[in-house]
Amino acid sequence: MGPDVVRLQGILDVEIDAELLQLALTHRSYAYEHGGIKHNERLEFLGDSILGQAVTVKLFRSFPDLDEGELAKRRASLVSTVALAEIARMIGLGSYLRLGKGEEQTGGRDKASILADTVEAVIGATYLSAGPDAATDLVLRLVEPLLVDPDRFGAAMDPKTSLQELAASLSLGNPAYRVTEEGPDHDKTFHATVVLQGEDVSTGSGTSKKTAEMAAALQAWTRLSGRAA
């Protein structure tokens, strides 16, 4: 078991089979460059289901006065790419990824889509290694910072609006977004930069323009609000 895997297990506070955890951290770009070895997308598929169930039950029990529509809205926020990427950044997950050279060179360690997918894969690996209870506990620990911090939770639900309101309160004017794209039509990656008063404040990436802008907005909100990224 490598030191990186041991360190990550300590951060996650759960024992995950070393090979499964390594697999959860393996992006398809790395797999293709190393002879087509296995990558994390099957674990991601599993983790997505576990994440959704755990969050649904948590919200149902924690907010007995909310109606179905509001519960669904909050669940969608907590399992969104933007929120999962925020969670990944909180625990420094990007530094543990196994990426291909192309993704490494284009900032893959901080791409919202890659980070979010890896969080789900780690949840899937936890389920297979330690069982459903441990996987649920992990999900709840990961999402807790968004649940206990109403402002951060609100920002994760609607980062562009939250950033606009915060920027206005700080007399910084309205945020502008500069977006670029790369890759073939069937597999594009978008990169967004938040600009305030003519200065670049933050960046974000995603598989759509909207997702990239949301990721960049959440990162800008996090910095301007004085919260640790």
User: Which residue numbers are catalytic?
Assistant: 48, 120
Please write the tens of the pLDDT for every residue from 50-83.
999 999 999 999 999 999 998 998 898 889 888 8
Taking alpha carbons only, the member of 205, 91, 211 closest to residue 156 is 211
Q: Binding site: residue ranges? A: 44, 117, 120
Res 2: pLDDT: 60
| CATH topology (fold) of 159-226 | Double Stranded RNA Binding Domain (3.30.160)
Provide CATH code, domain 3-148. Answer: 1.10.1520.10
Residue 66: half-sphere exposure toward Cβ, Cα within 13 Å: 15
User: Which amino acids are annotated as binding site for Mg(2+), given as ranges?
Assistant: 44, 117, 120
DSSP line for 153-194: HHHHHSHHHHHHHHHHHTT----EEEEEEES-GGG-EEEEEE
pLDDT in tens, 132-172: 999 999 999 999 988 887 777 778 778 999 999 999 999 99
pLDDT reading at 229 higher than 70: no
Q: Say if residue 64 is exposed, middle or buried (CB neighbours under 10 Å; 0-12, 13-18, 19+).
A: exposed
Pairing of strands 189-196, 199-206: antiparallel
Q: Match 């309160």 to its residue by tokens.
A: 169
Q: State both tokens at 41.
A: 């997308």
Whole-prediction pTM: 0.77
The structural domains of the chain, with segments of one domain joined by +, span 3-148, 159-226
Q: End-to-end alpha-carbon separation of the chain, Å?
A: 29
